[in-house]
Amino acid sequence: MKTFLLLSTLTALFMASAPVASAADPKPYPLKTCVVSDDELGTMGKPYEFTHDGQQIKLCCKSCLKKFKADPAKYLSKIKGS
């Protein structure tokens, strides 16, 4: 899982360097891939962006939104890299 390691490293770097965001600002999406499908963003057209609980989310396409909504906690934990 080389990609996962890389993403974890990037997330860790991001967490270390980013100032604590205020509640009003959504946390920027830390991944370069769709959190649902793991496809690289932009390869399927314009990424679908939205904010969930103050966390910006980007998906490769709108059909991934359905899967995200079905189990947001699972995908959020993926973003947080825990």
Residues contributing to the site for Zn ion (CB under 5 A): 37, 60-61, 64
Q: Give the largest Cα separation in the chain, rounded.
A: 35
**Cβ distance to Zn ion smaller for residue 7 or 64:** 64
Residue number with CB closer to Zn ion (9 or 43): 43
Tell me how far, at minimum, the Cβ of 68 lies from Zn ion, in Å.
9
Half-sphere exposure of 53 (CA within 13 A, CB side): 7
Measured from the CB of residue 22, what is the shortest distance to Zn ion in angstroms? Answer: 30
Structure-block tokens of residue 76: 């959020």
* Tokens found for residue 33: 């891939």
Nearer to Zn ion, 30 or 41 (CB): 41
At closest approach, how far in Å is the CB of 16 from Zn ion? 29
Task: Tell me if 48 sits within 8 A of 60, measured CB to CB.
Answer: yes
